[in-house]
Amino acid sequence: MNFKPENLLHIRQNRPLLLALAGVIIMLVAAFVCGSMLLLTLLPTSPPLSVMLVVSGTNQVVETNAETVGDLLDELGLTLNTGDALSLDVSTPLTADTVIRLDRARTVNVTIDDETETFDTLFTSPRDILSVMGIIPGEKDRVIVDGTEATAMDLLLWPVPATNITVQQAVTVNIDDQGVPISIMTTAPTVGEALFEAGVTLYLADNVMPDVNTPVTADMNVSIERSQPVSIVADGVTLETRSQGATVADGLASAGVALMGLDYSIPEETSPLQPGMSIRVIRVNEIVEAEQSAIAFETVLQADAEMELDQQIVIQEGQNGIQQTNIRVRYENGSEVSRTPESTTVAVEPINRVIAYGTKIVIRTLDTPDGPIEYWRVLRMYTTSYHPAALGGDNVTATGKILTKGIVGIDPKVIPYGSRLYVPGYGIGEAADTGGPRRFALWIDLGYDDSNWVSWSKYTDVYLMTPVPAEIDYILPE
């Protein structure tokens, strides 16, 4: 820049004007600053926001002047740990309806086949925790959650957050059981426990390779060489022995046990001898017993034309006969198992009881308040009475006649419909109706109108009036 003397002279000449101008500018700046400060002082301050914060399921409302989610967490002293889940990014601005969810991760120890991994996770269910690790326990795997053995369903429905999970994965063990191949999946620690778990029975003399105390490893091969143990139960004694024989008979012979007469064994003698077989010897004897039983006599009714109707007399008493049966009784090991009849004979014939009953009909006359009547039979009957109102207004009888006094209900097997009869205190009636089942056959129900009904409930002589019917039941029911 070139500075000329005439420029300096120009500045000196205008110096008062420049100073005045500078003073004005300084005053305007000062006034602007003061006004701005006064304006800031007079403006109202923004109220704090109410924000919903949910930490691991616990709700709380926070009053804050923070502008972002991150600012709020800093204000509350909340730090985000590894594995925690925050529902909103930390840079998200806060508003009056903001809801922030913070789920804290838990430390979980998971041991898979003696290798333990510790990590933080939001999951509480042992099934979810294992799934995150890519582990789905098999049916034969052993899972222990916080010291408790768990099934597959338990893993899904575990009631509390899991902390320590142990998974022992089942391995394959191949068993050659005397030529019979068996493949099992097991978590048993030793060969012996694996065989027991698989239901493989071992006997003392069996040879197992490798030894039963050998730890189980994956794809292990186990061979069993079987001995021939035999258990024999005979004569109340159990004999534990071993045999190289091929059949049950061989096993019995080697033990010095003989079958005699009807004796037999279970299994039978010709059955192949199997390792661990139990043989029972059944001792059999039979005897024949004679049993006597009564032959009931029969009661025979015999008509007597000289004896009056409804009279009976025993003309011969009955006597039971005797029947003898020979029974073959079979005993097995001292207990009776069957009784088989072999022959039956009659030792004493029964004698029938003979009762004579009268068939002679005698017609007699009875004087009544209504005049004399002729009757041919008298029955002692239980007497009741009825009227239409007692039947719900029904006044039509079984024979179609109208129920009124003079109509009586009976058992038609005892007194046929249409029979005329006389009941003292009631008068003459006609058998024209019947009723429901009764406890005994000799009953009669006296009919009335509603207006003249009289209650009956007693035994009464009933006179069957002439004429005598063509068919007569000489033997009355009980």
**Contacts for 102 with CB less than 8 Å, ≥ 6 apart:** 53, 54, 55, 56, 73, 78, 80, 84, 85, 86, 87
Amino acid at the residue 374: E
Tokens 């207006």 -> residue: 451
**Contacts for 98 with CB less than 8 Å, ≥ 6 apart:** 49, 51, 52, 69, 88, 92
Question: CA separation (Å) from 288 to 175, 324, 335?
Answer: 56, 12, 15
**Considering only CA atoms, which of 219, 226, 166, 168 is closest in space to residue 200?**
226
Q: What are phi and psi of 161, to 5 degrees?
A: -60, 130
Paired sense of beta strands 457-465 and 420-423, if any: antiparallel
**Contacts for 37 with CB less than 8 Å, ≥ 6 apart:** none
Please report the pLDDT score of residue 389 as a whole number: 94
Q: What are phi and psi of 39, to 5 degrees?
A: -65, -40
- Domains of the chain, start order: 49-103 (3.10.20.30), 106-168 (3.10.20), 171-225 (3.10.20.90), 230-282 (3.10.20), 287-357 (2.20.230.10), 362-465 (2.40.40.10)
CB crowding 161-175: b at 16 or more within 10 Å, else e: ebeebbbbbbbebeb
Do 433 and 447 contact (CB within 8 A), yes or no? yes
Tokens 């022995």 -> residue: 241
CA angle 64, 69, 71 (to 5 degrees): 65
Please give the order of strands across the beta sheet that includes 237-242.
Answer: 237-242, 229-234, 277-282, 264-266
DSSP code for 396? B
Please report the pLDDT score of residue 45 as a whole number: 59
**Considering only CA atoms, which of 358, 353, 362 is closest in space to residue 303?**
358
**Considering only CA atoms, which of 410, 430, 432, 435 is closest in space to residue 420?**
430
DSSP code for 192? H
CA angle 55, 58, 60 (to 5 degrees): 85
Q: What is the mean pLDDT of each run of 10 residues along the chain (478 residues)?
A: 40 46 49 44 66 88 89 88 87 89 89 86 86 84 90 83 89 90 91 90 80 91 85 92 87 91 94 91 94 95 95 95 95 94 94 96 96 97 95 94 96 94 97 86 95 96 96 87
Measured between alpha carbons, how far is 225 from 112 in angstroms, rounded to an integer? 35
- What is the chain's alpha carbon radius of gyration, rounded to the nearest angstrom? 58
Tokens of 348: 């004493």
Measured between alpha carbons, how far is 472 from 420 in angstroms, rounded to an integer? 15
**DSSP 3-state assignment of 357?**
strand
Please report the pLDDT score of residue 168 as a whole number: 86
Measured between alpha carbons, how far is 235 from 368 in angstroms, rounded to an integer? 90
DSSP code for 236? T
Paired sense of beta strands 420-423 and 373-386, if any: unpaired
- Residues composing the chain: 478
Please report the pLDDT score of residue 136 as a whole number: 87
**DSSP 3-state assignment of 238?**
strand
Tokens of 264: 């037999």
Task: Determine how many CB atoms are found less than 10 A away from the CB of residue 346.
Answer: 11
